[in-house]
Amino acid sequence: MTRPAAAVLLTGSELLDGRTRDRNGYYLGAALSARGFAVSHVLVSPDDPDGLRRDLRFLLDERPAVLVISGGLGTTHDDLTAETVDAVTDRPLADDPAAVRMVTDATRRVATRRGLELEGLLPEMARQARLPAGSRAIEPAGVAPGFMTCHDGTAIVALPGVPWEVEAMWPAVLEELATGAGAEAPATLSLRLYGWGEVQVAALLRGCATDRLRLAITASCGEVTVTAGYERSDAAASAQADALAATLASAGPVFSRDGRGVDQIVADLLRGRGATVATAESCTGGLLGGRLTELPGSSAYVAGGAIVYSNAAKRALLGVPADLLEAHGAVSAPVAQSMAERARSALAASYALSVTGIAGPDGGTPDKPVGLVFIGCAGAGETLVRRHEFPGDRATVRAWSVVAALHLLRRSLER
């Protein structure tokens, strides 16, 4: 069975010129893929009437089963989605009674929260209830309703551009789209490795048959992810996937075979043992703590942490001895060990992670270059310390450090 195609059009000049970093393309693409669509494009277009029409036509020309438009439903002059759908599919705009009710109700909710009285809709607000003829309004999460219409076999769905509104409105819409298109969630093999480069993985897989798989190898922050999608009914594909998984698991440092990321694995291991983790961060400045508390319910296993960016903070919050800092420097294995052990004890945690390094761009020396990071993990019996030299700029070094710390905790928990 071929997967039905889906395309995504993101509108907004601010997404093209650096004002806003898009979140919806990633989110919508991931969700469509997981539900059985083949995502053919994510196209970001500026708020320009002619350009939007041409781009909408380009995507419709491929006749995808689904076309999701995000953005351009708001109150300002450059919100053009309804007009563009009208122009391309010949569906004149009119006040949609359901949408009028939705906008009015939502505006009233916002007004009440701010302690204001609603005295009727501003023209800017009412604009959001003008929909292409024959479309169905979708209940808004914020104020702007979405809409859905069908054109030459393509279900066109328009959603707002605000990410949390998209994420609130989307699941019900996706289920309806998938049912309508007969999309079948694919089988997916997903293996993650830590400690090998992409090229080593690619070389290992040269010996595997993969012609029936949608194979992809991606690398991020020192992790390599190998995924292979295939139809559930395809026995030959399933056999190829099994062989691939066996090859990787026997020769490579596979840490996940079920799609879970290291965050989730660490969370599950900690929770399963009733254990807690504390953090002591220098160059990551809190990012590791931020990452550990990203998952809902993380209060069950995150004890807390210390951000000890300066030597003074290392002494004040954790009591790292001044002579240790003096003798080895802040970026050293003994200091990483001390930070981890002292954070563990100060926060009465089962484990503690420490990160100390040189994220750059300044502060590197020939002995201790930018990218040098020591990571410690203190447990009940022992403290592991690892030395890394990460490539890239400040943000990259910090991101790799966070991932390396999570993996060191994972290894400690798996021992």
Helical axes 311-318 vs 333-346, angle rounded to 10°: 30
Q: In angstroms, what is the minimal distance from the CB of 415 to its own copies?
A: 25
CB 318 within 8 A of CB 343: yes
135 vs 229 by CB, closer to its own copies: 229
Grouping H, G, I as helix, E, B as strand and the rest as coil, residue 248 is: helix
158 vs 166 by CB, closer to its own copies: 166
Q: How many residues make up the chain in this entry?
A: 415
Q: In angstroms, what is the minimal distance from the CB of 275 to its own copies?
A: 14
Q: In angstroms, what is the minimal distance from the CB of 93 to its own copies?
A: 19
Q: In angstroms, what is the minimal distance from the CB of 385 to its own copies?
A: 19
Count helices and strands (H / E) in the chain: 14, 17
Q: Under 8 Å CB-to-CB from 357, ≥6 apart: which residues?
A: 282, 283, 331, 371, 372, 373, 374, 388, 390, 397, 401
CA 82 – CA 56 distance, rounded (Å): 12
CA 73 – CA 170 distance, rounded (Å): 15
24 vs 149 by CB, closer to its own copies: 24
Report phi then psi at 23, rounded to 5: -115, -20
16 vs 243 by CB, closer to its own copies: 16
- Quote the radius of gyration of the chain (alpha carbons, Å): 26
Q: In angstroms, what is the minimal distance from the CB of 19 to its own copies?
A: 5
Point out which residues pair with 95 in neighbouring strands: 130
